[in-house]
Every structure is written in C-alpha cells, then in structure tokens.
C-alpha cells in the first residue's frame, strides 16, 4: 500500500514539474543590425532554449526558413514578402532596424557619377533586397537593366570581386561597405536615398507562434534590453560585436550610424501605429508592387495578417 502511495506521489510530482521549453532556433546572416542577437547571448540575456544559428548570407537564411531548419529568421521586409509569396505562412513579430545608408552601391574610383554605370559590370546578391537596391539605383541613374552587365554574386564575394576589378561596382551592405571604403572605393548610391524602404524584421512561422509564445516574448525582451545596453555603452558594445563583422570598433559605430536600431517605441509606432493601417503595412504594400513588377513574386500576399504585434505591446 505504501509503495502504491509513493508511486502516486511521484506521478503527481512529475505532472506538476514544469517541462523544459522547446528549442527556438533563430537564423541570421552577417549584418550589424543582427549582431545585437549575438550580443544578447554574450550578455546572458537569452534563455538557454534560444539557439542562434549564424548563416553566411540572406539566401542561406531564407533557405533554412523554407525547409524548417529554423523557426525564426532575421530578414529584410522584402525577403519576408518573397517567402510569403511562396505560400509560407509567416508573421512579422519585430522590426530589427531600418537601413539609412548601410546598404549601398560601392564603385571603383573611376566611376564618379551614376550615369557612368552604363555598360559597367555590377555585382549584386540575387535576393529581394539586392534586386530592390539595383532597381532604385538604375532608376536614379535613368538606366535600364539592358544598359548594364549584371553579375550575380553572394555578398561574401563582393569585396574580392571589386578589389580584383572583376566588376566595376557592387550592390552590397555593411560590413562589406565599410571594408571597401577603407580600400579607397566610394559610395555612389545608398539606402539613405530611399528612406524607410529597407527594413529588417524577425519573422516566425505562423504555426510556431503559439508553441513558442513565451520564448518569443523572452527573445524580443532580450533584444530591447540589448539595445539599451548599446545606447548606454556604445564603445564597449562595439568592441564585443565588431570581431565577427571584420570591422574595427570605430568602423562599426560608423556603420551603425547608417541604420536605425528599432527599440520598443519604434516597433510600436511602426507595427501598431495610430491609424487603421500600421506604417509597416504601407511600406510593405509599396515593396510588394515593386517585387511583383519585377516578377520576383508571382502570387499576391495578404498583408493584413502579416504583422503580429503582440510581442511589442506592453
């Protein structure tokens, strides 16, 4: 009888014991606006069940998300739209940053004017943001795709391609932008010319939202805590973040000047807003029209259900 009683006590204890949370895998490539995720881990802000998956490019991140190797992905807004256009049910739960010069067209010194891009070899990553930047650059130069020789190259080959004169210009982003500027190349167009169009977000598969609700709230809380740390300790934060980016701390601080790191207030302003339509949805509508015009998205995307702002609302 006593042994039966002990068995029942053990069963009750097991039932009351909190089960370990499922692992939440967060994928991201090399970009200063995403490096706060690693800093959050270094500072001990992230729970043990949140695993960071560091990838080589946005293309790799999108592929990992497509095939379920990660539950959360850090992507540009237009990359998120491309995945949604493929029929992947996802939600934007956080704005990471807004590019304001960190994405750029960097050219050799002989190219001093946008119109001189005519007939030149221009390398860009075959992603939505790469295509968007090239589209905006050519429009500013009053050129067409037929006027240039486009070369598809992943971002980790941009530095070498420009240095060895394999191409005349690259559509690239930080930290490659600063690395090229340090070798006497020059910016001839950047995302400051198209304010608000390149936005980095965290996306989650819709079917994973309920299962990982607590972990997502913890992840986003850790991100906001990290941004506060960066604001209060910019030089120390830059020292911690710069090694993986291949930049000196001062160069990283300069690179961060080319973007807005989105804190809680910025997220609420853009994901919720004050009117019927959140500002991010308006930006997404503009981007979607460009992507469809350039046949990068074949199917329309339901933008009304794209954002889930519950994690940024206090």
Query: What is the per-residue pLDDT across 15-67, written as a single tens digit (0 to 9) for each?
Result: 443 345 789 999 999 999 999 999 999 999 999 999 999 998 888 999 999 99
Asked if pLDDT for residue 14 goes beyond 60, the answer is no
> Binning pLDDT at 50, 70 and 90, where does residue 11 land?
very low
Please name which of 314, 297, 260, 313 lies closest in space to residue 93, comparing C-alpha atoms.
313
Asked if pLDDT for residue 206 goes beyond 50, the answer is yes
Domain ranges of the chain: 23-98+197-311, 103-193
Cα R_g (the chain), whole angstroms:
22
pLDDT score recorded for residue 20: 57
CATH ID of 103-193, from 3.65.10.10, 3.40.50.410, 3.40.190.10, 3.10.450.50: 3.40.190.10
Same fold flag, 23-98+197-311 and 103-193: yes
Asked if pLDDT for residue 13 goes beyond 80, the answer is no
Percent of the chain past pLDDT 70, that is, above it, reads: 93
pLDDT score recorded for residue 197: 85
Contact, 70 vs 81, CB < 8 A?
A: no
Percent of the chain past pLDDT 90, that is, above it, reads: 73
Distance CA 163, CA 47 (A): 42
CA dihedral 219, 221, 225, 231 (to 10 degrees): 100
- pTM summary value: 0.82
Residue 206: exposure state from Cβ atoms within 10 A (0-12, 13-18, ≥19): middle
Residue 196, both tokens: 């608000």
Q: Which residues contact 84 (CB under 8 A, 6 or more apart)?
A: 90, 301, 302, 306
The dihedral built from the CA positions of residue 140, 184, 122 and 151, taken in this order, carries a sign that is negative
Distance CA 152, CA 15 (A): 55
Fold of domain 23-98+197-311: D-Maltodextrin-Binding Protein; domain 2 (3.40.190)
Pairing of strands 169-173, 103-107: antiparallel
Across the chain, mean pLDDT equals 90
Count of beta carbons in the 10 Å neighbourhood of residue 311: 21
């Amino acid at each position: 009888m006593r042994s039966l009683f002990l068995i029942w006590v053990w069963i009750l204890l097991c039932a009351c014991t909190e089960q370990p949370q499922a692992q939440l895998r967060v994928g991201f490539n090399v970009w200063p606006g995403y490096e706060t995720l690693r800093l959050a881990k270094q500072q001990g802000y992230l729970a043990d069940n949140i695993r960071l998956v560091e990838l080589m490019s946005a293309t790799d991140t999108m592929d990992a998300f497509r095939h379920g190797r990660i539950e959360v992905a850090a992507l540009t807004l237009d990359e998120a739209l491309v995945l949604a256009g493929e029929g992947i049910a996802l939600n934007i739960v956080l704005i990471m940053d807004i590019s304001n010069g960190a994405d750029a067209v960097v050219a050799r010194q002989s190219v001093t004017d946008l119109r001189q891009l005519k007939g030149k070899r221009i390398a860009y990553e075959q992603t939505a943001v790469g295509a968007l930047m090239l589209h905006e650059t050519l429009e500013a130069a009053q050129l067409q795709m037929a006027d240039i020789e486009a070369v598809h190259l992943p971002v980790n080959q941009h530095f070498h391609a420009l240095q060895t004169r394999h191409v005349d210009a690259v559509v690239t982003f930080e930290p490659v932008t600063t690395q090229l500027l340090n070798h006497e190349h020059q910016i001839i167009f950047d995302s400051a010319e198209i304010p608000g169009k390149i936005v980095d977000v965290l996306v989650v598969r819709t079917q994973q939202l309920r299962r990982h609700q607590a972990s997502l709230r913890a992840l986003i809380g850790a991100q906001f805590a990290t941004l506060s740390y960066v604001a209060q300790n910019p030089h120390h934060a830059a020292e911690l973040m710069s090694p993986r980016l291949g930049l000196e701390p001062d160069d990283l601080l300069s690179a961060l000047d080319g973007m807005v790191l989105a804190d809680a207030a910025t997220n609420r302003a853009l994901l919720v807003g004050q009117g019927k339509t959140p500002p991010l949805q308006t930006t997404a509508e503009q981007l979607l029209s460009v992507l469809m015009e350039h046949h990068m998205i074949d199917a329309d995307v339901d933008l009304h259900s794209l954002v889930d702002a519950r994690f940024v609302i206090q």
